[in-house]
Structure 1
Amino acid sequence: MSKKQFIKRHHLIINKLRSNPCSFKELQNYLVKHSIDEEENYAISKRTYDRDIIEIREIYKIEIEYKRSQNRYEIVSDADEVKTDRIIESFQIFNALSISDSVSNHIIIEKRKAIGAENMHALLHAIKNKLEIQFTHEKFWKANNEKKTRTVYPIALKEARNRWYLIAQETKEGVFKTFGLDRMSNVDISRKKFEAPQNFEPTEKFKYSFGIVSDGTKPEKIKLWLSHGQADYIKSLPLHHSQKIVSENEKECIMELFLSPTYDFIMELLSMGQEVKVLEPESLKIKMIQMLEATLKRYK
């Protein structure tokens, strides 16, 4: 069995048990069906399945137990479901992109700049071992895309809107900043150790952020009117973990969020055009009107 089949079999087992606990026989039938549908071989013996359970626990931190009284297997602990889902999703995309040339013309890939993933492993190594790093950083908003050499203490990596960022502390000023991985080059991991900053929790710092901006803007309740179509889109891809539906019908939806109305959040709302309207707070409504009026002036 190829490594690709081995990985896919693990993912099939995880997906099946997440959706519904089942007996080994039911799982066998499920794997055989996928074997036929995909023209692969995912069928396994009981001995192989027992080994898979151990490997799934070690690789994905997912605990699978057999409930003898019910004659079924079920997931009893899923340490980080979000990360596991992303791993499975990435493999599925890779699997789809690597299929035969006979259908390659039917897969249209968006051309975009790399996200800087080539540096992720090195950065995670530096974060884990508390090692100072140095790199060249390019600022998009500066004249001629200014490049500067930065020396920082790496703290964490954060994803926002399909981009990855390094959260780090400047070695000289002690200020916490974010750097886009796609704008980093010449990354150098030193052997110089640093002490982890006290009273700084990355997750807490960005708890009320829409994306990567955390500039001290006070979080507040934001109420939005959304067209039915736009609301469906946002429900499938949430703007923020705090969002909730206040009311909705077949034409419109009222949604509430609790976050910091920073520049990147305002730009996201503006990108929705006439499909969104800010109801509260008044200060955000005024800001939206001002930016829309400034945009209209560009066309006069």
Structure 2
Amino acid sequence: MSSNKNALIRYKTLDKCLKNKYRKYTLEDLIDACSEALFEYEGKESYVSKRTVQLDLQNMRSEKFGYEAPIEVFDRKYYRYSDSDYSIHNISVNESDLKAMNNAVQILKQFKDFSMFKEMNGVIQKLEDSIHSTGQKSIIHLDKNEQLKGLEHIDVLYESILNKKVLKILYKSFTARESSVFTVHPQLLKEYNNRWFLICLYKGSMYNLALDRMEKIEVEEKNEYIDKDLDGDEYFKDIVGVTVSETMKPRNVIFFVDASNTPYVKTKPLHKSQEIISETEEGAVFKICVQINYELERLLLGFGNSLIVHKPRNLRRRIEEKFRTGIMNYQNLIIPDEE
């Protein structure tokens, strides 16, 4: 269990003890209560030191976490709140806090139509009621498309990852003639370019399956789940998009962007590794270090004639060939005369 979660459990336990009007708690009693609470959550012996509890009480008294708890010692050995109505869960908020919370609620409301957020509807309504929401329109608008095919699968996929369940998925890719069955160990859900993907373990290798190509999902209760303990930031750190190769090393991709588009690439880097190699009045030369995948090619092609790939050579040739094919398509296009 993380140290942050441990601390939250201790604070919650101490709060419960300090507001108890029917029992007196010494420091040793508080230590025992915290140790028992951690044992209950972790299922193993977990002794909390005297110094840890003393520091917790000090933090609760201070402004560090916004508690400013009125903790007092009476009869020289017992601990309690001097205000019998106080609890760390009853922290007051100022006008600035209310505005910030109201803005957060407006953003959360934009997700409530997604199936995976349906259970949030009641929570969002409670938040609106508790902070006296003004019902203002959302100032921040997030890009979303509730009509995307496959969103109905998010619930079962999310629950399977959370509860570590193996899945049997009937799947048909865009290039396949017939559907195939994949028995997978789901690890992560990833959204990219307004499409959702399941990152999963299949026959010892990592795969990404598009939700809009899934036809049927069943839980395989008999199969033992394999947890790869994936960290999304670490797993996707060397790529653009969702396609990760377990064997390919990231390479330096060097490309030129004309002057009119340079500001856009500067302010919205293609990848976090992006850096400027040189810049003139004509434009700038950039470098990113990534794996070469399909999504990267699509992104580079999207800039049209305003971007030129310098290196690596194989990538440059593929981009060049696609432009040649595109030119031929336009040259051979026959459009009926408009009436």
TM-score range, shorter-chain basis? 0.5 to 0.7
Q: 1:61-85 deviations in whole A, cap 9, x for unaligned? A: xxxxxxxxxxxxxxxxxxxxxxx99
Q: Which residue of 2 aligns with 1:240?
A: 271
323, 326, 331: which one pairs with 1:292? Answer: 323
Shift of 1:203: 4.3
Distance 2:110 2:160 in 1: 29
Q: Which residue of 2 aligns with 1:134?
A: 168
Pair 1:187 & 2:187 matched:
no
Pair 1:269 & 2:300 matched:
yes
Q: Report if aligned partners of 1:130, 1:193 keep a CA contact under 8 Å in 2.
A: no
Q: Report if aligned partners of 2:164, 2:225 keep a CA contact under 8 Å in 1.
A: yes
Distance 1:112 1:157 in 2: 17
Q: Aligned in 2, Cα 1:134/1:268: closer, same or farther, shift over 3 Å?
A: same
Q: Which residue of 1 aligns with 2:109?
A: 91
User: What aligned pairs does 1:1-300 form with structure 2 within 5 A after superposition?
Assistant: 48-49=92-93, 89=107, 91=109, 113-114=147-148, 116-143=150-177, 146-170=178-202, 173-192=203-222, 194-197=224-227, 203-215=233-245, 216-248=247-279, 251-298=282-329, 299-300=331-332
Unaligned runs of 5+ in 1: 1-45, 60-83, 96-102
Amino acid at match of 1:181: L
User: Counterpart of 1:186 in 2: which secondary structure?
Assistant: strand
User: Counterpart of 1:122 in 2: which secondary structure?
Assistant: helix
Structure with higher Rg: it is 2
Q: Report if aligned partners of 1:217, 1:262 keep a CA contact under 8 Å in 2.
A: no
Q: Aligned in 2, Cα 1:124/1:284: closer, same or farther, shift over 3 Å?
A: same
Q: Aligned in 2, Cα 1:287/1:275: closer, same or farther, shift over 3 Å?
A: same
Q: Report if aligned partners of 2:165, 2:225 keep a CA contact under 8 Å in 1.
A: no
Normalising by structure 2, report the TM-score. 0.51
Shift of 1:199: 8.2
User: Counterpart of 1:256 in 2: which secondary structure?
Assistant: strand
User: Counterpart of 2:212 in 1: which secondary structure?
Assistant: helix
Q: 1:145-199 deviations in whole A, cap 9, x for unaligned? A: x3223221111112222211101122xx333211111222332234346343458
Amino acid at match of 1:239: L
User: Counterpart of 1:49 in 2: which secondary structure?
Assistant: coil
Distance 1:224 1:250 in 2: 16
Distance 1:223 1:121 in 2: 41
Shift of 1:265: 1.3
Distance 2:186 2:229 in 1: 15
Q: Aligned in 2, Cα 1:235/1:209: closer, same or farther, shift over 3 Å?
A: same
Q: Report if aligned partners of 1:133, 1:190 keep a CA contact under 8 Å in 2.
A: yes
User: Counterpart of 2:170 in 1: which secondary structure?
Assistant: strand
Distance 1:126 1:211 in 2: 23
Normalising by structure 1, report the TM-score. 0.57
User: Counterpart of 2:261 in 1: which secondary structure?
Assistant: helix
Q: State the identity as a percent.
A: 24
Unaligned runs of 5+ in 2: 1-89, 114-136, 333-339
Shift of 1:267: 2.4
Q: Aligned in 2, Cα 1:186/1:281: closer, same or farther, shift over 3 Å?
A: closer
Q: Aligned in 2, Cα 1:112/1:238: closer, same or farther, shift over 3 Å?
A: farther
Amino acid at match of 1:126: S
Structure with the bigger percentage of strand? 1
Corresponding pairs, count = 211
Q: Which residue of 2 aligns with 1:71?
A: none
Shift of 1:225: 0.8
User: Counterpart of 2:221 in 1: which secondary structure?
Assistant: strand
Q: Aligned in 2, Cα 1:139/1:242: closer, same or farther, shift over 3 Å?
A: same
Q: Aligned in 2, Cα 1:93/1:199: closer, same or farther, shift over 3 Å?
A: closer
